[in-house]
Amino acid sequence: MQRKTLFELVILGALGALGIVVMKNSQSINDTLSGVFAGSYHWPPESAPYQSLVESSASANGVPVALMAAEITQESGWNPSAYNSSSGASGIAQFEPPTASGLGVDPMDPNSAIPGMARYLAQLNGMLSARGYPQWSYTLAAYDWGIGNVEDALANQVPPSSWNNETRNYVRIITAASGVDTATAQLFA
């Protein structure tokens, strides 16, 4: 067993206070740390108008900044006018109408949608953490596939590797881009 340095112990304590769970091996600690700090994420040029709002919203809600930024890249490519005609999802965070309404979010306004996305990710992570699944990979799956589908799959002990391809790819792409929770994301392969 590898001993932790004092720095790692302090960081682990701080992450725990934020509700960020770190696996016990050193690689997962590095994965988590790299994703918590926005410097590990390569911001695309189109994200420039929204970076500070993403950073403040994610930080205020205990969401890894890099994870949220990578998720926006995946959801809309940073296009605040994005629209998915098959699901009705719209805006930079691709909220479906019932979700946007329930959160009190205007999906077409990035100043509303980005903080709303951070609150929703924190809410989903809290719900899944209460059920024993605090890893951000499960939270991403719930954002993409719906919390009900994820809870049903977990309750029926369906492994993430058997979930739908879209959600599995979604989780893997975002975790790889952000560096957050890459160890758990392997379960989605």
Q: pLDDT by residue (tens digit) across 32-87?
A: 444 444 446 899 999 999 999 999 999 999 999 999 999 999 999 999 999 998 89
pLDDT at res. 41? 83
Tell me what the pLDDT averaged over the chain comes to: 86
- The pLDDT of residue 145 is above 90: yes
- The pLDDT of residue 164 is above 60: yes
- The pLDDT of residue 152 is above 90: yes
Domains of the chain: 6-188 (1.10.530.10)
Q: pLDDT by residue (tens digit) across 74-98?
A: 999 999 999 998 899 999 999 999 9
* Phi, psi (deg, nearest 5) at residue 50: -115, -5
Catalytic residue among 75, 96, 151, 166: 75
- pTM for the whole structure: 0.80
Q: Is 75 a catalytic residue?
A: yes
